[in-house]
Amino acid sequence: MTVVDVHAHVFPEIGRAESRLLTGRDDGPWLRTTDGHGAGMMMAGGTEYRPVRRTLWDPAERVADLDRLGVDVQVLSSTPMLFGYGLDSERAADWCRMVNSRLLEYAAYAPDRLAPLCQVPLQDTETACALVDEAMRQGFHGVHIGNHLGDHDLDHGALTEFLTHCAERDAAVLVHPWDLPSGPRFSRYMLAWLAGMAGETHLTILSLILSGAFERLPASLRLMFAHGGGSFPYLLGRADNAWHRRDLVRADSPHPPSHYTDRFSVDSAVFDPGALRLLVDVMGAERVLLGSDHPFPLGEEHIGRLVRESALAPEEQTAILGRNALAFFGLAPLVKEAVR
């Protein structure tokens, strides 16, 4: 059985001067790697953002982790603070190209184990589409995007245009929450991550459904959401009830929300056997993919343990632990190479 983890982050080594030069800002993201003991610090300008492990920027360390944890392949995304969606279009394109080239270098350490996703300047649809084309030719396995752009959710015209382009180019799309709710109520106890991320993802999935965007998007689009789809699967019944009972809710969607669960996938990062069971009941085992959020502390430390130790049928476990991901991200050729 091939084990594939589809939700994992890289923060390539980017210095402060380089960040300043490319972003034109003094508060841009960079990585301080001189903290010693294999630790580093994600920085926003002069402000310490989050302490991180060496795995985040060192591929040798990453592969050692994967070996220790019995993971064959990891699908790599940049860290959402690197998206660059706040930059003007030209800077954003250069920034994304730089991040993408670092991701390729990182993955080149073990091309049969590390499968990178590109990032694109979502604020500029034309360039974002061009960068997807470029990236797919360069060997990326899809694209990693944030779940919204300012006040626009993924159902917004320019963003559905981008998603349609991804479908046409056969580029898988991983959606990660970013730009989380803020303010004093969210800044305590990592509540922006614990409650905000779940709500953000829920909001984006419902926006796509209730706007009727799935009626317009190609059925071939391979779209997935991190963190088990946030609070969406748990509260799907609430959304269905609202669709049936309020014309405000069903104005733009010809079917209730539960009709659309075959249009996207989710990862398995829910940290509880009961939650995983519910997720598989709602989405189907073929639409849940092992995702850990490695190497961040809020991720699954023993990647895959929740699925392996669950009461799910062996067939369901095999699908979630790797088979679904091989198809979703087109990884079969890479794995075959490794076996050969």
Residues that contact Co ion, how many (by CB under 5 A): 1
Distance CA 206, CA 200 (A): 10
Other beta carbons less than 10 A from residue 153's beta carbon: 20
Q: How far is the CB of 298 from Co ion (least distance, A)?
A: 8
Specify the residue, 201 or 211, whose C-beta has the smaller distance to Co ion. 201
Q: How far is the CB of 254 from Co ion (least distance, A)?
A: 33
Spatial CA neighbour of 213 closest among 150, 149, 257: 257
Q: How far is the CB of 9 from Co ion (least distance, A)?
A: 6
Specify the residue, 293 or 300, whose C-beta has the smaller distance to Co ion. 293
Stretch of 110-118, 148-156, 185-193, 292-300 lying at the interface with Co ion (CB under 5 A)? 292-300
In the bound state, the residue with its beta carbon closest to Co ion is 293
Specify the residue, 79 or 324, whose C-beta has the smaller distance to Co ion. 79
Return the axis-axis angle of helices 125-138 and 157-168, rounded to nearest 10°: 20
Stretch of 37-45, 131-139, 146-154, 285-293 lying at the interface with Co ion (CB under 5 A)? 285-293
Q: How far is the CB of 79 from Co ion (least distance, A)?
A: 8
Specify the residue, 10 or 331, whose C-beta has the smaller distance to Co ion. 10
Q: How far is the CB of 48 from Co ion (least distance, A)?
A: 20
Q: How far is the CB of 211 from Co ion (least distance, A)?
A: 25
* Binding to Co ion in span 129-188, by CB under 5 A: none
Site string for Co ion, 209-248 (x = CB under 5 A): ----------------------------------------
The residue within the footprint of Co ion, chosen from 153, 200, 293, 300 (CB under 5 A), is 293
Strands 265-267 and 223-225: parallel
Per CB under 5 A, 200 contacts Co ion = no
Residues with Cβ within 8 Å of residue 311, at least 6 apart in sequence? 273, 277
Distance CA 168, CA 113 (A): 26
Specify the residue, 79 or 160, whose C-beta has the smaller distance to Co ion. 79
Q: How far is the CB of 67 from Co ion (least distance, A)?
A: 22
Q: Under the rule (CB under 5 A), what is the footprint of Co ion? A: 293
